[in-house]
Amino acid sequence: MVDPPFREALLTGASSGLGRAIAVELGRRGALVHLIARREDELARTREEIRTAGGDAAVHPGDVTDGPWLDRVVAEVSARPGLDLVVAGAGVAESGAGEDTRIGRTHTVLEVNLVAAARTLEIALPAMRDRGSGTLAALSSLAGLRGLPTAAAYCASKAGLSTWLESLRGELHGTGLRVCDVRPGFVRTALTARNRFPMPFLLEPEDAARRTVDGLERGRAIIEYPRRLAWLMRAARLLPQPLWRRLTSP
Ligand SMILES: NC(=O)c1ccc[n+]([C@@H]2O[C@H](COP(=O)([O-])OP(=O)(O)OC[C@H]3O[C@@H](n4cnc5c(N)ncnc54)[C@H](OP(=O)(O)O)[C@@H]3O)[C@@H](O)[C@H]2O)c1
């Protein structure tokens, strides 16, 4: 039998939406998947879906903003000799941050999307470096390419994450490790269900998950989808500030 492209993966944000779909896709393709998120019942559901798809998973319920807990779990899982993929996928937007104040929402979004994502990959890094192989990935967003009104912390967290990954990629060049920045457009999940604006080229989570895992298997540094929205956002970076403000004003 041929080995699967990924033997063992660790994924945060695996209890719903895109993270769950990626976990199921990895399991279907033969990886044992370690699932992290806060909701234990939803993680168990992801594990059931993976088993139904012919794979297997282990659940590690907890909060990625609990630094000592995250360090311990990620270090334990990363020490497993088969672990060859880590995906920092846990994320929140302002509308789902569960905070009453603007500064509270900003803090939570930056902490989950940027600080905890970087921490997840930093903790996994030494064991992978010792083995001389592995992929460190995170779910940033095409929303990181330009600032959007009402999503200041979200856009900043994703832009920061993409830049952080780019720096890490430079540092790890020649070590045998890969660093992958996954930048989805709009995907139909609980996170986008709260959006009150048009979402062009909206994808289903399963479609987004296939594109993500295909890109990871090919060793892509940056995975952007859908192509048309990625192209539009790249073009939008060239627009002058007043025009961008007019186009995106709520
Ligand atoms: N949907 C899109 O259009 C889209 C586009 C671009 C990028 N993304 C990114 O893709 C990722 C997944 O988003 P989604 O759309 O699938 O949203 P989602 O369905 O709301 O899933 C978010 C995931 O993050 C986990 N999470 C949030 N805070 C956490 C914390 N403090 N500790 C541990 N886990 C936490 C949630 O689990 P618990 O609540 O169980 O903890 C859940 O599994 C995010 O990083 C998001 O920014 C999404």
- Tens digits of per-residue pLDDT, 80-98? 999 999 999 999 999 899 9
What's the domain range around 161? 8-248
Position 1 in a domain: no
The one catalytic residue among 154, 164, 186, 225: 154
Residues lining ligand 1, CB < 6 A? 12-19, 37-39, 42, 63-65, 89-92, 112, 139, 141, 184, 186-187, 189-192
Report whether pLDDT(2) > 80: no
Residue-wise pLDDT tens digits, 18-41: 999 999 999 999 999 999 999 999
Q: Cα of 183 to ligand 1 centre, how many Å? A: 13
CATH code, 81: 3.40.50.720
Q: Is the pLDDT of residue 1 over 60?
A: no
Burial (0-12, 13-18, 19+ Cβ within 10 Å), 69: middle
Q: Is residue 227 part of a domain?
A: yes
- How much distance in Å is there from the Cα of 17 to the middle of ligand 1? 7
Q: Is residue 239 part of a domain?
A: yes
The best mutation among 36, 92, 165, 197 to test binding of ligand 1, ranked by most ligand atoms within 8 Å of the C-beta, falls on 92
Convert the pLDDT of each residue in 109-159 to its tens digit: 999 999 999 999 999 999 999 999 999 999 999 999 999 999 999 999 999
Residue 30 covered by a domain: yes
Distance, CA 172 to ligand 1 centroid (Å)? 27
191 domain residue, yes or no? yes
Please indicate, yes or no, if residue 136 is contained in any of the structural domains: yes
Determine the residue of 35, 40, 69, 189 to mutate for testing ligand 1's pocket, defined as the one with the most ligand atoms within 8 A of the Cβ atom. Answer: 189
Which atom from ligand 1 is nearest to the alpha carbon of 117?
45
> How many domains does the chain fold into?
1
When computed from its CA atoms, the radius of gyration of the chain, rounded to whole angstroms, is 17
SS (H, E, C) 134-194: EEEEEECCHHHCCCCCCCHHHHHHHHHHHHHHHHHHHHHCCCCEEEEEEEECCECCHHHHC
- Whether the predicted pLDDT of 164 surpasses 90: yes
- 225 included as an active-site residue: no
Report if residue 117 sits inside a domain. Answer: yes
Residue 3 located in a structural domain:
no
| Whole-number Å distance between alpha carbons of 130 and 146 | 37
pLDDT tens digits for range 51-73? 999 999 999 999 999 999 999 99
